């Protein structure tokens, strides 16, 4: 969701509007879950928890899987030749980071400034600075992030940094064997050790999601090739088309229940299978191209700033507005987060363009 290059959402030379649209859908699932936590607390396990989308944090798996998919796709397009694996890895990671860096830096600096104005202890402020460098992923500040919602971004980047050189060097072995086996083992371990995915071991969750995304890419490409060679009956074609939609609906329904979390690792695998069909452009929406339009692409572009600004808007609504109505809290947090995300996108774009223009003028003179 948050580290894609401008041109990465491409399938058969065009952007996949279905994936762009799903980015915003799952972004809002996470947001609504967090809005509920602001009202009812973060302990979603008790039956008495009254929030919406109890298991909404599971939506993060969508972003991990898609990130792994596009990493595998990027490597596949580059071929087998690689003169400097270290340089290639860091160039790839820079493309991932630079897309979110303006939001990451600005929003974190804002939160640090708020802590300074609130006269927080200097050691607490210095600990929060570690978030600027994504260090809580490695245990700095006791794994606590200045922008709490960024935990998955940091863990995802670390997982990609670790996996990418092996994928680049041993593409076939990793994509065809190591990634599928490792992802199954990791999700199995999360099921056995924690009985859940959300709220388990976050770094293992990130590795499992990225590896599953690599597997989804392999399955998607194989699926496209097999469908070219074999005749599919109308019934089979219909089942293939509606399967991704049914998967999304089923998982969204599950998120608003109190069914055991032990099935979450299996549900993530089911989500991956639905995404494989979507990426292959054989799903109900992706095959028609109905979402391959400017509005769906715009939604995809807006999802990173909207997701990343949420800690600021939620903090303001929760701590300073004093809203007592539950319904109004949801509405105000949602509207303020959407508006702040959109405004920050365009404001930072203008600022970056002016900086680039200034640098070009300096070079010209």
Q: Are the C-beta atoms of residues 30 and 56 closer than 8 Å to each other?
A: yes
> pLDDT value at position 9?
40
For 307-347, write each residue's pLDDT tens digit. 999 999 999 999 888 888 999 999 999 999 999 999 999 99
pLDDT band (50, 70, 90) for residue 13: very low
pLDDT above 90 (res 179) = yes
pLDDT at 10: 39
| Residue 229: predicted pLDDT | 73
Distances (CA, A) of 180 to 47, 174, 211, 219: 35, 8, 7, 10
Q: Calculate the dihedral angle through the C-alpha atoms of 317, 322, 323, 326, rounding to the nearest 10 degrees.
A: 80
- Statement: residue 12 has pLDDT above 70: no
Q: What confidence tens digit (pLDDT) does each residue in 43-83 have? A: 998 888 889 999 999 999 999 999 999 999 999 998 777 78
**Beta-carbon count within 10 A of 234 CB:** 7
Taking Cα atoms as reference points, which of 312, 248, 326 lies closest to residue 21?
248
Give the relative orientation of helices 60-78 and 264-279 as an angle to the nearest 10 degrees: 40
User: What pLDDT is recorded for position 2?
Assistant: 53
Cβ contacts of 44 within 8 Å, gap of 6 or more: 37, 51, 54, 55, 199
Mean pLDDT of 253-271: 95
Collapse the DSSP code of 232 into the 3-class scheme (helix H, G, I; strand E, B; otherwise coil) and give the result.
Answer: coil
User: What pLDDT score was predicted for residue 32?
Assistant: 96
- Contacts of 309 by beta carbon, 8 Å cutoff, 6+ apart: 103, 107, 337, 340, 341, 344
Q: pTM for this structure?
A: 0.92
Mean pLDDT, residues 157-180: 96
Helices marked H in 256-293 — which ranges?
264-279, 284-288
Closest CA to 314 of 35, 2, 25, 24: 35
**What average pLDDT does the segment 190-198 reach?**
94
Q: Cite the DSSP H helix spans in 12-136.
A: 17-40, 60-78, 85-98, 101-117, 122-129
Confidence of residue 91 (pLDDT cuts 50, 70, 90): very high
State the chain's maximal CA–CA distance in angstroms: 69
Contact indicator for 193, 208 with CB cutoff of 8 Å: no
Q: Answer yes or no: are the C-beta atoms of 338 and 28 closer than 8 Å.
A: no
């Amino acid at each position: 969701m948050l580290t894609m290059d401008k041109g990465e959402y491409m399938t058969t030379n065009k952007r996949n509007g279905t994936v762009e649209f799903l980015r915003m859908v799952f972004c809002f699932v996470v947001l609504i879950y967090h809005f509920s936590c602001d009202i009812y607390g973060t302990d979603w396990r008790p039956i008495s928890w009254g929030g919406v989308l109890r298991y909404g944090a599971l939506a993060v798996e969508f972003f991990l899987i898609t990130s792994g998919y596009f990493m595998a796709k990027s490597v596949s397009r580059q071929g087998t030749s690689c003169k400097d694996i270290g340089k290639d890895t860091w160039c790839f990671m820079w493309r991932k980071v630079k897309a979110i860096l303006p939001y990451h830096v600005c929003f974190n600096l804002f939160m640090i400034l708020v802590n300074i104005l609130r006269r927080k202890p200097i050691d607490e402020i210095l600990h929060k600075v570690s978030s600027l460098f994504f260090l809580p992923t490695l245990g700095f500040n006791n794994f606590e992030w200045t922008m709490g919602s960024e935990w998955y971004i940091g863990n995802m980047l670390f997982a990609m940094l670790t996996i990418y050189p092996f994928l680049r060097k041993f593409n076939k072995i990793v994509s065809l064997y190591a990634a599928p086996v490792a992802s199954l083992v990791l999700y199995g371990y999360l099921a056995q050790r924690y009985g859940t995915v959300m709220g388990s071991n976050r770094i293992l969750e990130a590795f499992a999601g990225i590896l599953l995304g690599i597997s989804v890419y392999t399955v998607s490409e194989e699926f496209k090739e097999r469908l070219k060679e074999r005749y599919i009956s109308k019934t089979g074609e219909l089942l293939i088309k509606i399967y991704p939609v049914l998967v999304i609906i089923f998982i969204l329904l599950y998120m608003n229940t109190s069914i055991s979390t032990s099935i979450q690792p299996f549900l993530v695998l089911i989500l991956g299978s639905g995404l494989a069909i979507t990426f292959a452009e054989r799903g109900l929406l992706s095959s028609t191209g109905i979402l391959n339009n400017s509005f769906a692409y715009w939604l995809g572009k807006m999802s990173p700033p909207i997701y990343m600004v949420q800690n600021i808007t939620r903090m303001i609504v929760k701590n300073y507005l004093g809203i007592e109505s539950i319904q109004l809290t949801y509405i105000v947090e949602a509207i303020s987060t959407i508006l702040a995300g959109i405004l920050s996108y365009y404001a930072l774009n203008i600022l970056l363009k002016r900086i680039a223009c200034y640098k070009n003028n300096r070079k010209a003179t």
